[in-house]
Amino acid sequence: MQAIKMQEFDSYIEFFHAKNVGLFVELNIEFNRKFNFIIGPNGSGKTSIFRCIAICLNPHESAYFSRYGNNAEIWIDLSLNNKRYRLGVGKGSVLQGNIYRNARLFRIFDPPEKSGYTSITSFQLRESDINFSPLIIGAYRKIGYKRISGMQREESPKVQRQHYRANAVKYLEGIIMPDVKQWMINRYFQIDKKWADIITRNWEWLLKNMKYLGPSDVKFDFIDIQKDLEPIFSLNGVNCYLEELSAGYQSILSLILTVFNWVEDIYDGNNRVVENASGTVIIDELDVHMHPEWQFTIRRTLEKFFPKIQFIISTHSPHLIATAESNEIIILPQFSRIINVKPTPKIYSGWSTDQILEDLMGVKSLENKFYSILYKKALEYIDKKNIEALKDVISTMEKITHPSDTIVERLKIKLASLTLDDNS
């Protein structure tokens, strides 16, 4: 295979703004160039943020997915090959008095100007050669069975870019699902053709990194696509079809293949090489269907497959949060209608699961866990020097805790001290 000369292409979202849209009075979020994990309590607006970004891409057809107040405005600031644009909808574009989920735009005004940025609307984006078509992936990623009849014709990148922009909200809501099985069939028949150098390179990149899809103690490989056009995989030496994979493997495989498909859809020429591709991928609830070990490794997996892509991700997983690096966590406040946030420099790899759930995710019910109740009782019995009651609590805690639990060991030491004092 001939060496492919790469052209530098860099694309990412810098900033997002919404005013009087949905439940937000005002929302401002700064993003970094690579990973952005949006976290917060239920009801803080994580999915709503993605819906608003999708509306910027196609407000005419997706405006009705939200509601708008007076002087509503919504835009994103983006960087494309060192050129900067402000894309969205300015004040006065939405008819006043719109009914919920029945909004209509009577005219799209440009978003407000910003020094160094070119303000554009989705219509201007569609009529231009500006290649900005983020991929939005919803929370539902199960692969249902579909019978494939053969190869399917693929549209030009310009048509595909408009498809992703026009249907961004529908992808987020799960109304449209990526057809990863058809993509596999197409690529399997196209690889090694004289005209398919980039497709072949991407396929080899996929197979090379397939080992990173699952937990370290699981061997997962692609085997073949035979004449029935059914992809076959090997999971720890056992062959299985695509739809027979577990929900976890379906979720992560669907995710990875969808990004491959998107890169090859929207880019021209050498920019289709996945390992060098840029752009923004937005994923709602990345941790859905994933075993905790996957949640610990998925960030590494995405970075391994797509080292130059920007990811904006919502998650409820403390395990995933613990893998984030500095300036990758964006924390939304609970039930706040005015929000100004940016990635925090703090790293949470040393925090326990409970600490992340309580302090970052707003989970307060942890205080009522049986373990916590027993521990509080133990402290009370220590204060009261009630040795027998303390013995009973320690005995119960030993039955429900890990053998190496340090708190139980400390309680035993305290019990021994109280017993010694009582006998002296």
Assign 62 a pLDDT band (cuts: 50, 70, 90): low
For residue 230, give the nearest of 165, 143, 291, 302 by alpha carbon: 143
Range 255-270 average pLDDT:
94
- Amino acid present at 261: N
pLDDT of residue 8: 63
Q: What is the pLDDT of residue 399?
A: 86
- pLDDT value at residue 48: 83
Instruction: Give pLDDT tens digits for 1-23.
Output: 445 554 567 899 999 999 988 77
Cα distances from 277 to residues 14, 69, 269, in angstroms, run: 18, 38, 11
Residues of the chain with CATH 3.40.50.300: 11-178+274-359
Mean pLDDT of the chain: 85
User: According to the model, what pLDDT value does residue 47 have?
Assistant: 82
| Tokens (6 digits) for 151 | 């190869």
pTM here is: 0.85
- Where b means 16+ CB within 10 Å and e means fewer, 142-162 reads ebeeeebeeeeeeeebeebbb
pLDDT of 408 over the 90 cut: no
Measured distance CA(258)–CA(271) in Å, rounded: 17
Distance CA 272, CA 56 (A): 25
Instruction: Render pLDDT for 264-277 as a digit per residue (tens, 0 to 9).
Output: 999 998 899 999 99
Q: Dmax over Cα atoms in the chain, in whole Å? A: 90
What pLDDT shows up at residue 255? Answer: 93
- Tally of CB atoms within 10 A around 286: 25
Task: Please say if the pLDDT value at position 257 is more than 90.
Answer: yes
Whether 367 shows a pLDDT value over 70: the answer reads: no
Q: Which of the four CATH numbers 3.20.10.10, 3.40.50.2300, 3.90.1300.10, 3.40.50.300 does domain 11-178+274-359 have?
A: 3.40.50.300
Buried residues in 255-268 as b, exposed as e (16+ CB within 10 A): bbbbbbbbbbbbbe
**Amino acid 368: pLDDT:** 54
Are residues 215 and 297 in contact, defined by beta-carbon separation less than 8 angstroms?
yes
274-319 residue pLDDT tens = 999 999 999 998 988 788 888 888 999 999 999 999 999 999 888 8
Torsion of CA 349, 354, 360, 363, to 10 degrees: 160
Helical packing angle, 46-57 and 157-166, nearest 10°: 130
Q: Average pLDDT of 123-128?
A: 83
**Residues 137 and 282 sit within 8 Å (Cβ to Cβ):** yes
Phi, psi of 89 (to 5 degrees): -125, 125
Residue 106 amino acid letter: F
Nearest alpha-carbon partner for 279 in 134, 171, 130, 129:
134
**pLDDT tens per residue across span 146-204:** 899 888 899 999 999 999 998 998 898 888 888 999 999 999 889 988 888 999 999 99
Q: Mean pLDDT across the stretch 357-382?
A: 78
Q: Which residue has the tokens 């609970």?
A: 334
Helix runs in 213-324, H state only: 247-266, 292-305, 318-323
138-151 pLDDT tens trace: 988 888 888 998 88
Helical residues (DSSP H) of 18-145, grouped into ranges: 46-57, 59-62, 122-127
Name the CA dihedral angle for 395, 401, 402, 407, rounded to a multiple of 10 degrees: -80
